[in-house]
Amino acid sequence: MRFLFSFSLIVLFTVSSCKNKTNEQNGNPSTTRSEKSLKSSKKTSKKSPNTAVIMDWTKVPSGEGQWPWADLSGMDSEELKRRGFKINLKEFWFNGKGIAKSVVGLPGCSGSFISADGLILTNHHCAYGIIQKNSTAASNLLENGFTAQSKKDELDGKGMNIWVFGKQVDITKKIVSGLEKLTDDYAVGKEIEKRVSAEISECEKDGTSRCQISRENKGLRYILLRNFLIRDVRLVAAPPKSIGEFGGEVDNWRWPRHTLDFTILRAYVAPDGKTASYSKSNVPFKPESWLKIDNNGLNEGDPIMVVGTPYRTNRYALSYEVEHALSVYYPVRERIFDSWIKTIEIAAVKPGSRIAYSTWVKRLNNGLTNARGMIAGLKRNKVLENKKEIENKWKKWVKNSKNEQWIDSFENLKKGHKKYSEDEKSLLINYTVTGVTPFNLAVISLIWQRMSLLPDTERLPGFQERDKNLILSRLKNSIASYDPEVETAVFLNFCSINPQTHPLFEKSLKIDRKILQGQFQRTSTLKVKDISEVLTTDFIKKNESDPLFKYAKELEVHYFKYLQNLTSLKGFNQKFRVPYLQSLVKFLGKKYYPDANASPRVSFAHVAGYIPQEGVLHTPWTTISGLIAKETGRWPFAIPGSLRAVHSDTVKMTPFRDKNLLDIPACFLSNADTTGGNSGSPVLNASGALVGINFDRVYENIAGDFGYNPAYSRNISTDIRAILWYLKEVQKWPNVNELISGK
């Protein structure tokens, strides 16, 4: 493309403290009231039971930056050493090798190998679906927890996949070369998808790799990731929900936090080492690298690394995109999710239904709080105002540089935003398709048949032959959790939010509820002997007279157009956003790191507390004593009776006791740069040993997706010592010593 210049000129990575100029460019005040208050407070070094050392957190180096592993060789290793990091970057990741090889990707989350025998540590909420699908009213693992006493007791992961990261190669030139000859957005997007598919197909020819392409900042760079997919993942150990989700939605995105949000899984492969679905003949996977555990703990200000797959940030969003997020996207999500949750909670009256839809409720609650926090944070940080100020300065800079084509790109982006941004109607229909099981099956079946007429490399992303097993696994799990009464209520809720969204919604509201519920009860879309039937023409013929299938055909027209628009949007961004971003990076003069896009990243950070508001000081640790003190006997602050007694008996002698806190640490804060997808990310100390597991951010940091703020950007992790103590002393899990020894 004519505007592309050498990417190596852009990506000159370094790690440095966040200066005032950088803070302002990210849409954050360079010095906040919280920072001023902290600077005026005296530093104390006194240690007393159940308190942490309070330090001046404004002097702690910034943790800003979600740095791609492939670029670590270009970072300033001397600066990292000055900050206290002891690990050699080549030991961390180099050409598909290193400590980072221990990190794995999960759907929407991260995890890490912690033994030579394929044990994986991730969050309880990341493995929630596995726990839920293995739970019944008679044996509720969500409520009671689970520990496998031996490998034969480990439970089927019900289709959970993980991927182990391998080599990463820059293929930008292959993807973008010659695209400037195409003018139509859809044509450019389709050509990009075709080239991406071809690269992935070539990468997967060996029969063992599962490849993906990291598309950085909507086309600025393309990195081919060669991964190994594992399709047999089993449940090994998980605390009950009362511990793994302690505090529930009351504490979600909040500090202080006392949640032991962890689960242990194990990866299995066929005896020949190849990936395979669940089978009793499979054997534990032997990772090339796994993390060693350090239970000596951390101190305030200590360097840490958070390593995982952050899902999405919008650090380089334009002002009108922030405005849309504030006025449309997040308010709509808040309204839809709130009513969706209430609908499920009212309709899921049967014990089995409550278990079946608990994953949905948890996911929606998380999204609801996120939407509210995003709206509040964007306003508090004045992100919109600061974006406009930066853009005005950028325009003056462009005029002085005599590169008027960059102004054209900016104006075209503004026009395209009106065309491609999602409005309430689009969001509502999309949620109806994905959130109502019969519609989801029917729409996927219809689109699959459309795509099956095309060569594999020309199909829409997600509908290629390589996606078939994953699609079927998800549909199978949806059918297994289906309750007609709940889904009737969910559908009617979608219809009532905005009936004018689609003619189907207005029509459905006029149908007698009992008749509609009967249609959901009798629908033939769910009556399949083999789940693979859903992706055949016979499935469509069999269901053509089914009322719900007919409804789905109406929705499919919109949904297919939505998917096509995503293709057009790729082409549009390649034409206009890429040159704009290239100019913006030059203008800002800051060290560039791409927005999160679910590719592997690392954040170099430090343990630090913060001041959320005037008069409030958040120190960086909580303890098991603090957890017990919160107990009320009722959800979400009820704990197993054994925990209090075990804590009392072991707290003075356990090796997992912190010498400063004089207690077992529960959670800690750091200023790592994280977002959704970092859940389950291992937290490593300066030497690369495992000291915790990331699971959340603070409420004031939700809007950090649009700009890192040194005063508020804090992530929350469970201390590894709390996990080891709980497994050893409370759950009496026999394999704890295996983890501690690092074997």
The 10s digit of each residue's pLDDT in 275-320 is 999 999 999 999 999 999 999 999 999 999 999 999 999 999 999 9
Question: Does the pLDDT value for residue 428 go beyond 90?
Answer: yes
3-state secondary structure of 632: coil
Provide the 8-state DSSP code for 154.
Answer: P
Phi and psi torsions of 293, nearest 5°: -95, 135
Instruction: Tell me, rounded to whole angstroms, the distance of Cα 216 from its chain centroid.
Output: 16
Q: Which of 288, 234, 283, 287 is nearest to 263 (CA)?
A: 234
Mean pLDDT of the residues in the chain: 91
Q: How confident is the model at residue 743 (pLDDT cuts 50, 70, 90)?
A: low
- Mean pLDDT along residues 39-45: 39
Residue with tokens 């023409």: 537
3-state secondary structure of 342: helix
Give the pLDDT confidence score for residue 59 in this predicted structure.
85
CA distance 667 to 717: 5
The domain limits of the chain are 7-161+231-307+595-717, 164-230, 317-384, 423-579
Give the pLDDT confidence score for residue 54 in this predicted structure.
61
Q: How confident is the model at residue 722 (pLDDT cuts 50, 70, 90)?
A: very high
CA distance 124 to 252: 14
Give the pLDDT confidence score for residue 309 in this predicted structure.
98
Who has greater pLDDT, 470 or 35?
A: 470
- pTM for this model (two decimals): 0.90
- The two beta strands, 621-623 and 665-670, are antiparallel
CA distance 428 to 562: 12
Residue with tokens 């060996």: 206
Question: Does the pLDDT value for residue 46 go beyond 70?
Answer: no
Give the pLDDT confidence score for residue 51 in this predicted structure.
46
- The string of DSSP letters for 638-706 reads ---HHHHHHHHHHTTT-TT-BTTTTB-EEEEEE-----TT-TT-EEE-TTS-EEEEEEEE-GGGGGGGG
pLDDT in tens, 649-664: 999 999 999 999 999 9
Number of H helices, E strands in the chain: 29, 21
Question: Does the pLDDT value for residue 240 go beyond 80?
Answer: yes
Residue 573's contacts (CB-CB under 8 Å, 6 or more residues apart) are: 218, 219
Q: How confident is the model at residue 35 (pLDDT cuts 50, 70, 90)?
A: very low
Q: Which of 69-78, 439-448, 467-476 has the highest mean pLDDT?
A: 439-448
The two three-digit tokens of residue 281, written as one number: 């003949």
Peptide bond into 256 cis (omega under 30): yes
Give the pLDDT confidence score for residue 90 in this predicted structure.
87
Give the pLDDT confidence score for residue 27 in this predicted structure.
39
Give the pLDDT confidence score for residue 372 in this predicted structure.
97
Question: Does the pLDDT value for residue 31 go beyond 80?
Answer: no
Question: Does the pLDDT value for residue 231 go beyond 70?
Answer: yes
Which residue(s) pair with 163 in the sheet? Answer: 105, 229
Question: Does the pLDDT value for residue 39 go beyond 50?
Answer: no
- The string of DSSP letters for 358-381 reads HHHHHHHHHHHHHHHHHHHHHHHT
Instruction: Name residue 300's amino acid.
Output: E
Q: How confident is the model at residue 686 (pLDDT cuts 50, 70, 90)?
A: very high
With 0-12 CB in 10 A as exposed, 13-18 as middle and 19+ as buried, what is 642? exposed
pLDDT in tens, 486-539: 999 999 999 999 999 999 999 999 999 999 999 999 999 999 999 999 999 999
3-state secondary structure of 9: helix
Give the pLDDT confidence score for residue 50 in this predicted structure.
44
Phi and psi torsions of 147, nearest 5°: -140, 130
Q: What is the side-by-side strand order in the sheet with 621-623?
A: 67-68, 601-606, 303-308, 682-684, 690-697, 715-719, 665-670, 621-623
Query: Given its phi and psi angles, is residue 573 left (phi above 0), alpha (psi -120 to 50 degrees) or beta?
Result: alpha
pLDDT in tens, 1-30: 333 323 232 333 333 333 333 333 333 333
Give the pLDDT confidence score for residue 53 in this predicted structure.
53
Own/partner pairs, 349-354, CB within 8 angstroms, 24+ separation: 349/485, 350/483, 351/137, 352/136, 352/137, 352/483, 353/483, 353/485, 353/486
Question: Does the pLDDT value for residue 47 go beyond 70?
Answer: no
pLDDT in tens, 162-172: 999 999 999 99
Give the pLDDT confidence score for residue 96 in this predicted structure.
87
Residue 528 host element (H or E): none
For the chain, the straight-line distance linking the first and the last C-alpha, in angstroms and rounded, comes to: 51
Q: How confident is the model at residue 207 (pLDDT cuts 50, 70, 90)?
A: confident
- CB-CB contact of 716 with 251 (8 Å): no
pLDDT > 70 in the chain, percent: 92
- Mean pLDDT along residues 589-618: 94
Q: Which of 672, 642, 667 is nearest to 721 (CA)?
A: 667
Who has greater pLDDT, 65 or 6?
A: 65
- Mean pLDDT along residues 127-132: 97
- CB-CB contact of 690 with 294 (8 Å): yes
- CB-CB contact of 575 with 188 (8 Å): yes
Residue 349's contacts (CB-CB under 8 Å, 6 or more residues apart) are: 485
Question: Does the pLDDT value for residue 621 go beyond 70?
Answer: yes
